């Protein structure tokens, strides 16, 4: 049986807002969202960071998208994430492109893909939306 791999995104304080946005864009449902203040280790969390997200899970059917707000000093900028949903590629790309930091490549047909586009969303997360041609 193949391994299911679910992305776990790191944010710098805006995870909650990002996941509410992704819930709308990707058509999933948030089923868990815990703040740092809800953890047994809350006393070790810096002041002003208690309401930031310690863990969130977004159910996308057969996959999960998870995330958290990294504590100050530990944040690393995410790299690209790949999305392959042939029937939803256009909708997903345009939804993620709401107030983007940058559209690197508009979604279009390429020599390897029916639809492909790259952007950095309003939360600083880079996305590659790819809809491969049928074999």
| All structural domains of the chain with their residue ranges | 1-74, 77-135
- Fold classification of 1-74 (topology level): 2,3-Dihydroxybiphenyl 1,2-Dioxygenase; domain 1 (3.10.180)
Residue range 112-135, pLDDT digits in tens: 888 899 999 999 999 999 887 665
- Fold classification of 77-135 (topology level): 3.30.720
User: Mapping DSSP to helix (H, G, I), strand (E, B) and coil, where does residue 31 land?
Assistant: strand
Residue range 28-79, pLDDT digits in tens: 999 999 999 998 888 888 888 999 999 999 999 988 999 999 988 888 888 8
Give Cα separations from 36 to 13, 29, 32, 79, 105 (angstroms).
Answer: 11, 21, 13, 24, 36
Angle at 130 between CA 93 and CA 4, to 5 degrees: 105
């Amino acid at each position: 049986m193949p391994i299911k791999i679910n992305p776990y995104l790191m944010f710098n304080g805006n995870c909650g807002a990002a996941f509410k946005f992704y819930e709308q864009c990707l058509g999933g449902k948030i089923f868990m969202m815990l703040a740092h203040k809800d953890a047994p280790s809350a006393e070790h969390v810096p002041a002003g960071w208690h309401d930031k997200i310690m863990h969130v899970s977004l159910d996308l059917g057969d996959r999960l998208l998870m995330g958290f707000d990294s504590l100050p000093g530990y944040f690393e900028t995410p790299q690209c994430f790949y999305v392959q949903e042939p029937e939803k590629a256009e909708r997903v790309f345009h939804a993620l492109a709401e107030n983007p930091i940058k559209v690197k490549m508009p979604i279009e047909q390429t020599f390897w893909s029916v639809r492909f586009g790259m952007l950095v969303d309003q939360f600083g997360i880079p996305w590659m939306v790819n809809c491969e041609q049928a074999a």
